[in-house]
Amino acid sequence: MFRNFSTIVILHVALTLAMVHAQDDQSGFISIDCGITQGSNYTDSKTGLNYVSEAGFIDRGISQKIQPTYNSATLDFQLTTLTSFPQSTRNCYTLKPKQGKGNRYLIRARFNYGNYDLKGQPPQFDLYLGSDLWDTINFTKSLAMDYEIIHLTSSDYIHVCLVNVGLGTPFISALELRLLDSTMYPTRFKSLILFARSNFGTSETVRYEDDKYDRIWYTIFSNGTKDVQTSGPVSLGSSTTEKVPSKVMSTAITTTSPTNYLYYSWKSVNPSDEFYMYIHLAEIETLKSNQTREFNIYLNGYYWDGPVSPVDHTTSTLFSSFYNLSTYELKMNKTQNSTLPPIFNAIELYTAKQLLQWQTEDQDAAAIWSIKSTYGLKRNWQGDMCVPQTSVWDGLNCNYDDKGTPRIISMNLSSSGLSGEIAAALANLTMIQSLDLSYNNLTGTVPEFLSQLDFLKTLPLPAGLLAKSKNGGLLLSIEASSDADTTSCPKDSCKSNKHNKVVIPLISTFSALFVLLTILGILWIIKRRRTQGRIIRDELIGSRNQRFTLSEVQKITNSFSSVIGKGGFGTVFHGSIGENQVAVKMLSESSAQGYREFQAEVSLLMSVHHKNITSLVGYCNEGNHKGIIYEYLANESLEKHLLDGSPKVLSWEERLQIGYDAAQVIAGTPGYLDPEYYTTNRLTEKSDVYSFGVVLLELITSRPAISKDTYIINWVESMVAKGSVENIIDHRLHGLFDINTAWKVVELAMTCVVRTSVERPTMNDVVTDLKNCLKTEKARRGAKPNNLNAQMSLSLESMRGPNLR
């Protein structure tokens, strides 16, 4: 009996602890109190939030305190201290939430000047999220300011940076990150900057623990209204995904007279800002049987929604987005059928902002942060290591592509006081070409992973890695033989060099022999891997398709005399096999990346059969001569129909139709390769989505995917930021399209080409969205919505990459 009682007690305690943990789950939180003693932490007595010092998040800054006259019992403790940055221009906090990228976070930066510097003049400076301007910190309205953004991350690292613009010393009081639920504030590729979050009917500010996401619900005073409250809980209705806390919804305002209306207004800082508005409503009064509450909502004098009847003790959320106005007026008028005036519980206003999110590839970033930690480096290394280019970390060089994911290509840690063995994290710098670890106190053996760095060309090894001896001074230079297969080098890794050098200090004969054998082994492994990387086995294509020799291909194409376009990895020629016309795509011998695209296209053509994709006829795999032979479509390329000067301008409906048809058959990769493929060497369904997104952008804009001056994704991003879809759609359509449908298709395309695959929609989602857009356009033009069978026989071959038909 005693044993059973003990078990019950243990279970009761365990359940109690589990309930407490569930109610106090801060696992998705990062709370930094800037300016407190380094390494210290505490639990805030008002909120129960656990705060830590900035140690580990930033390496520099000066701890300060506000003046006592600016302190009060009601002031949040986090706002009594701060960290200032009088030295360098750019200073960054680096946050790495354990939930990682692909999640939506609320990030809040808090500032309280408090005359800490006795100048009586608050500064002005810029606040950045990575390489993107978040906002300008300006204390014109108050000496204490909160800046908040809801952000869907594409990287495991979040950099919050303060930038000196010459108007005073930047500082910060607190930095907070909160993990949100994946269903909250769904935006596809925009971040939301908080403009206002107002809680009506109370004088108490609501935040954690009442709001488990620690949103701060600010109070607001209004004339001509009365407060109403309820002691009962308010549940979440099906129309809201924002999870508004019950404490916020249990208070509201209504009018003092049944004939009056509720009024709420605000002014835009920038008239071009796009606002996202969330109106939260719930009936919290007990209505009598003869009472009704019903009202319409007007925005700037125009009907917006209604009639609205809030549900009893249940939250309903009304959402809308709009822009291009300087002043907004929201009115709630009761209807003729209503016996009660309107009720208003809470509102959230955000300005939408598209952030480019240019950041170093996560794999490289993780490696560098690990190296910094391993060796305890005290350099000015903070924020993103490659972005912006003007702030690249000392000793690093980066390669920048059009997709905004820089890669580290060289690292110089010479004379950096390093000790111990070579850090294993270096193995993850897969694009590195030059690595200098000389003049340090490193010990141990030459790690084998150096042989796996395919692009590594320069490696001055530290003397400390070799056996120590009094007999030194001889330098050994090892070169690849003059007949080395330089043509097998990856793109741009060989250039005009006939060999690569590895220079090693030689201390003793035995050490020299050991190191010589090691280096020769490394060179042999690298050469063998590169050779194997060029082999494309016949089994890839299979026995059902015919293999052609190079001489046969020459006859088919009349010695490659008729060029019909450029594909993703080579030139396309017209040819004939008997009475059947074919297109022959030959791999360019100078294209290293082309081998991947060759394999990807073969896989696609093998695995799908559809009227919009050509059939695979055969292939050629003879030495360095590799090509694909497939049926020829005679209606010219889609590119010719899209470019200026074409006598045939595709209508908006025709473009949607082509996109809809193409989106149903995706099974390999339609062309432009997923950025993640370059590092994972693996194609997924989300790779298809990325490639299709590029095709869709070409259909929308009539611009090539890659031109001399820009990359189509970057161009569309810049135009979206300006808020004008008319300048994105092909100008030859002269506005003959539905503006809402146009925005939906543009947003869909841009969602498809986000850099992180988990953030992209599925192809089923893409098909569904395009089908709905096509129905809308057909209805606008008077066609029957279910008439989705108009087909176009167009070849996409001559576009620079996509291989769809």
Phi-psi region of 57 (alpha: psi -120 to 50; beta: other; left: phi over 0): alpha
Upstream peptide bond of 209 is cis (omega within 30 degrees of 0): yes
Query: Phi, psi (5° rounding) for residue 63?
Result: -70, 135
Domain 197-202+221-353 part of CATH 2.60.120.260: yes
End-to-end Cα distance, the chain: 77
The pLDDT of residue 795 is: 31
Whether the Cβ atoms of residue 790 and residue 599 lie closer than 8 Å to each other: no
Average pLDDT of span 486-506:
41
Q: CA 128, CA 132: separation in Å to the nearest integer? A: 6
In terms of CATH, what superfamily is 362-534?
Ribonuclease Inhibitor (3.80.10.10)
Question: Tokens 């009056």 sit at which residue?
Answer: 260
The pLDDT of residue 741 is: 83
Q: At what angle do helices 712-721 and 739-752 cross, to 10 degrees?
A: 130
Which comes out higher in pLDDT, residue 284 or 542?
Answer: 284
Q: Which amino acid is at 72?
A: S
Average pLDDT of span 583-599:
64
Q: Name the segment(s) of the chain with CATH classification 1.10.510.10.
A: 638-780
- Residue 542 above 80 pLDDT? no
Average pLDDT of span 273-291:
94
Q: Name the segment(s) of the chain with CATH classification 3.30.200.20.
A: 538-631
- Per residue in 83-127, pLDDT tens? 999 988 999 999 999 999 989 999 999 999 999 999 999 999 999
Q: CA 741, CA 659: separation in Å to the nearest integer? A: 14
The pLDDT of residue 447 is: 87
> Which has the minimum average pLDDT: 10-14, 235-239, 367-371, 696-700?
10-14
Average pLDDT of span 572-595:
75
Considering the domain 25-180 in this protein, what is its CATH number? Answer: 2.60.120.260
User: Which residues, at least 6 apart from 225, have a Cβ–Cβ distance to it below 8 Å?
Assistant: 200, 253, 254, 255, 256, 262
The pLDDT of residue 505 is: 41
Whether the Cβ atoms of residue 253 and residue 225 lie closer than 8 Å to each other: yes
> Which has the minimum average pLDDT: 54-58, 70-74, 651-655?
651-655
Question: Tokens 């167009």 sit at which residue?
Answer: 794
Q: Which amino acid is at 152?
A: L
Picking from 215, 226, 219, 217, the residue whose alpha carbon sits closest to that of residue 203 is: 219
Q: Which amino acid is at 638?
A: L
User: Which residues, at least 6 apart from 142, have a Cβ–Cβ distance to it below 8 Å?
Assistant: none
The CB density around residue 761, as the number of other CB atoms within 10 Å, is 18
Q: What share of the chain is helix, strand, coil (3-state, %, to 5)?
A: 25, 30, 45
Q: Name the segment(s) of the chain with CATH classification 3.80.10.10.
A: 362-534
Q: CA 486, CA 490: separation in Å to the nearest integer? A: 9
CATH code matching the domain that covers 538-631, chosen among 3.40.50.1100, 3.40.50.1700, 3.30.930.10, 3.30.200.20: 3.30.200.20
> Residue 331 corresponds to which tokens in the numbers above?
């009115």
Whether the Cβ atoms of residue 271 and residue 317 lie closer than 8 Å to each other: no
Beta bridge partners of 161: 92, 128
Question: Tokens 């998040």 sit at which residue?
Answer: 57
User: Which residues, at least 6 apart from 547, have a Cβ–Cβ distance to it below 8 Å?
Assistant: 538, 541, 618, 619, 620, 621
Per DSSP bridges, beta strands 132-137 and 124-129 are antiparallel
Picking from 747, 760, 756, 753, the residue whose alpha carbon sits closest to that of residue 157 is: 756
Question: Tokens 């409503």 sit at which residue?
Answer: 281
Q: Which amino acid is at 542?
A: G
Q: CA 201, CA 182: separation in Å to the nearest integer? A: 29
Whether the Cβ atoms of residue 641 and residue 647 lie closer than 8 Å to each other: no
The pLDDT of residue 78 is: 97
Question: For 24-123, where are the alpha helices, taking DSSP H only?
Answer: none
Whether the Cβ atoms of residue 486 and residue 498 lie closer than 8 Å to each other: yes
Q: CA 760, CA 242: separation in Å to the nearest integer? A: 22
> Residue 678 corresponds to which tokens in the numbers above?
């370059």
Picking from 127, 142, 161, the residue whose alpha carbon sits closest to that of residue 57 is: 161
User: Which residues, at least 6 apart from 492, have a Cβ–Cβ distance to it below 8 Å?
Assistant: none
- Residue 235 above 60 pLDDT? yes
Strand arrangement of the beta sheet that strand 295-299 belongs to: 262-267, 327-334, 295-299, 302-308
**Of the ranges 48-52, 100-104, 793-797, the best mean pLDDT one:** 48-52
- Residue 714 above 60 pLDDT? yes
Q: pTM, whole model, 2 decimals? A: 0.61
Q: Which amino acid is at 643?
A: L
Q: What rounded mean pLDDT belongs to the chain? A: 79
- Per residue in 302-359, pLDDT tens? 898 889 999 999 999 999 888 778 899 999 999 999 999 999 999 999 999 888 888 9
**pLDDT-derived band at 628, boundaries 50, 70, 90:** confident
- Per residue in 645-697, pLDDT tens? 555 677 777 777 777 666 657 433 333 566 666 566 666 778 778 888 888 88
Q: Name the segment(s) of the chain with CATH classification 2.60.120.260.
A: 25-180, 197-202+221-353
> Residue 413 corresponds to which tokens in the numbers above?
């840690």
CA distances from 273 to 193, 267, 300 (A): 11, 11, 16
In terms of CATH, what superfamily is 638-780?
Transferase(Phosphotransferase) domain 1 (1.10.510.10)
**pLDDT-derived band at 213, boundaries 50, 70, 90:** very high
Per DSSP bridges, beta strands 407-412 and 434-436 are parallel
Encode 368-384: b = buried (16+ Cβ within 10 Å), e = exposed.
Answer: bbebbebbebeeebbbb
Which helix (H) or strand (E) is 512 found in, with range?
Answer: helix 509-534
